[in-house]
Amino acid sequence: MTTALADETRRINELRRYSHRTEDFQTCSLVNDLRQSFFGKEDESHKQMKGSWSHYPDEKYVQKIKERFYLFLDLLRKMYTISFEAFNFFSLAIQTGAFVQLYLTLIAVTSRLATVVAEMIEILQFVIPVIDRLLPIYKPDTIENPEFIEGKVPEVHTESPIPPPRPTPILARISTTFRKERLPIIIERRVVDKQSSTQTVESTEGRPQREKAKKKDEIDEIFSL
């Protein structure tokens, strides 16, 4: 029992110590000071610091802030590990049934600390690369990309025109065969089918025609009576 209480006390004191060290870093004030250094001391309001930069800080100052952020990131990672281990320890200790209210409070505190520390780690992982992009401004004569840093447009080197591609052996054979062989010219003619018209004429010619009745004379009419 005494060893368990001693372990609990040690973890609580460790969390308290790391929490005070985290608070002493004052990360928010460091970020605000770095931001304000690009606008001058007279522009202290956040609305005035949304325009273009009018100043720039010293390189050593930016490098020092970067180093402090790296130290703070290591501290946060250590604190996250301690908070997570304390959360697991108190979660197992509450199963004994003793000091339930105390363990519930400690579990809530360690859980909240781990969540806040995780969010702060994500913010620092975003801020540090931004500072890394600021540092090349102080070295305009670097060999890596002097045209980009000095604002010069790189010259475009024009080369001789590229010759047309040579035909492959297969394409060469095809082109020569088409040149040597002349294809016959095909003329299409449309033929109108007149079979139906001839059949109609033949059908009318083959039929026997009726004989016309002869006109009777007056004499024939008399003798026919």
Confidence (pLDDT) at 73: 93
What is the distance, to the nearest Å, from the Cα of residue 152 to the centroid of all Cα atoms in its chain?
30
Residue whose C-alpha is closest to residue 11's, from 120, 112, 75, 90:
90
Confidence (pLDDT) at 80: 93
DSSP line for 100-162:
HHHHHHHHHHHHHHHHHHHHHHHHHHHHHHHHHHHGGGG-TT-SS-HHHHHTPPPPPPP-PPP
What does each of the 225 residues of the chain score in pLDDT, given as a tens digit? 567 678 888 888 999 999 999 888 888 888 888 888 878 765 556 666 676 777 778 888 889 999 999 999 999 999 999 999 999 999 988 888 778 888 899 999 999 999 999 999 999 999 889 888 888 877 765 555 454 444 443 443 334 433 444 444 444 444 444 444 454 544 555 555 555 554 544 555 555 556 555 565 555 555 555
**What CA–CA distances, in Å, run from 179 to 69, 167, 169, 173?**
77, 15, 15, 10
